[in-house]
Structures are given as structure tokens and as C-alpha cells.
Structure 1
Amino acid sequence: MTEPAPHRFPVDVLVLLQRPDGQILLTERAGGIYLAGMWAVPGGKVDAGEDVVKAAAREVYEETGIILTRSELAFIGVTHHCPPHRDSRIGFGFLATGWTGEPRNVEPDKCSQLGWFLPDELPQPTMPYTAEIVRLHREKEAFSVHGWTS
């Protein structure tokens, strides 16, 4: 009898771009992507051969045109997230309070608009994954298990 293959979790990065007034940038998902119509922070999957910090900078650039250096990304925390209709995943959250460029919608086929919101006044509907990373930042927690039912 052969052993089952080990379960592998997708690794994601979620980035809070925060202005001096405390507001963070969110993108409204659009088109045929997962949870279109919901608000999310810039982010996505870590590619093969890429560390989480490099992935965070790449994803932000691909979605908003913002350029981030490694030193501009501060670790927030990690969540082991289980969405209702998908496999669980590991999300690394980062905060950036400085960057090069002005945010713009670089992927209009995947994003209908960008908006700035206070972390304790997120728009509805906001993706639960995003809301959890924002909560970790607000409450200064480094880790969570989110969306799992007992």
C-alpha cells in the first residue's frame, strides 16, 4: 500500500500599502477571477524560485505599478486560511509605508477600481483573507488560523 502524497499549501503574499493618514489601498476584484466584486489588498501567489518578499514586491508592481524594495516591506504576520470553497493556503502579510510611484489600475481585466480605506472601516464586501491580514496588522498579532471549522 502506498502512502498518500503529502498535502501542499499554496503560499500567498498580501500587501498593505499604507499612507501617512493611515488609509490602506484596496483593489476591487473584477472579471472572471475568484471572488470578483470583493475588495482585496494587492497580492497573489508566490512563484517557483521566488521568496515571499520578492513575490510581494512583484505582485504589487503587477497590480498597481508601485515599485517596492525589500527594505520597504515590513512583515505583519502569517495566516493559515481556509476559504469556504477552496483548498487552504498560507498567507504572508506585509506592510509598506513608502514606495516609488502612484498607484494605478494596471490590470483592469482583474480589477474594477482602487480605493483607500481606513483599516477599521473596510468596504463591504471585503475578502475574508484580506480582512484577516488587516486584523493581524491592527491587533499586532503575528499568526492566525482563519476560516477553519471545528
Structure 2
Amino acid sequence: MDVLLLLVRDERILLTLRAGDIYGSGWWALPSGRIEPNEDVVSAAVRELDEELGLTVAARDVTFAGVTHALPPDSEARLGFGFAVRRWQGEPTIREPDVCAGLCWRSPTDLPDRTLPYTREIVRLHLTGEAFSRPGWPDR
């Protein structure tokens, strides 16, 4: 299970350029990470923003944006919890240069071509107000 985080400032969201020996290297994505054992999703969101970007976020400022149970064609199924964050302390800084090569602010309606589908789906849920999706799974 993952958390995917939409940092929202001036109607734009922050994207990270994945790098190194990880899935999606060379593609843009939301700040994200795995939920640790015995950790709730909001605590995971707060922790990931500190670890990846050096941001301090209060749990009350983490707002649910949607859940996707995605089945990509090139990897195993993923369950992602999306959260929007509009208030934080600090300025986003790359704190894990071995897995992040860049940051950029973009309109959620104008994402770079090389944006991971998992990210695109959480952004779509956020924009449409839908709570849940299951892209890639066959309809039965």
C-alpha cells in the first residue's frame, strides 16, 4: 500500500522526477511512498513528506483525495491512497537524490507527457472528486 501526495500551491501541484534504480525512473510522479507496518495512512503521508522533501505537515492538514487499486500492465497491482496537502512548513527540497532528480510545480490539468499512470490516476480522482478507481482491472 502506498500514499501519494498532492502538494497544492497556487493551483499547481508538486511533481518529483524519479531517478536511480527504482520503478518509473525518468518519469514524473507525486511525492509518494510505502506505508510501513503498523503505520496509518496519514502518519505515512506526514513521514514521507518529511523524508523526501523536508516538509513539516500536521496530520490535520492531510486531506483525503481518493484511492486507486491499479493493475499496471508492467508491474504488480498497487493500492494507493491519495491525499492533498495545502499547508506545510518549509520549502520542498530533494532529500533523497538517489531516487529523485528534480522537482517541478505543474497545473494538475497539464502534466508532463512522462508522468506515471499511477500519479495521473490520483490527480484525476482529486480533480473529479471521485473517491475510488480500479484502472487496469477487467470489467466483469
**Whole-Å separation in 1 of the counterparts to 2:53 and 2:138:** 34
Q: Deviations over 1:10-65 (max 9, x none)?
A: x110000000x201000000111111000000111100010000001111111111
**Whole-Å separation in 2 of the counterparts to 1:70 and 1:140:** 21
2:77 is equivalent to residue 79 of structure 1:
no
Counterpart amino acid of residue 108 in structure 2: P
Shift of 1:124: 1.8
> In the alignment, what sits opposite 1:140?
129
Counterpart amino acid of residue 62 in structure 2: L
- Structure 2: which 5+ residue stretches go unaligned? none
Counterpart amino acid of residue 27 in structure 1: T
The 5-angstrom pairing of residues 5-84 of structure 1 reads 11-19=1-9, 21-84=10-73
Shift of 1:111: 0.6
- Greater Cα offset, 59-68 or 46-55: 59-68
Counterpart amino acid of residue 35 in structure 1: G
Shift of 1:149: 4.1
Q: Deviations over 1:98-117 (max 9, x none)?
A: 10100011111101100000
SS in 1 for 2:66: strand
TM-score, length-normalised on structure 1?
A: 0.90
Shift of 1:86: 1.8
Shift of 1:84: 1.8
SS in 1 for 2:74: coil
Q: Deviations over 1:73-114 (max 9, x none)?
A: 000111111122222121100000010100011111101100
TM-score, length-normalised on structure 2?
A: 0.96
Counterpart amino acid of residue 105 in structure 1: I
Percent of counterpart pairs with the same letter?
Answer: 53
CA RMSD after TM alignment: 0.9
Larger Rg: 1
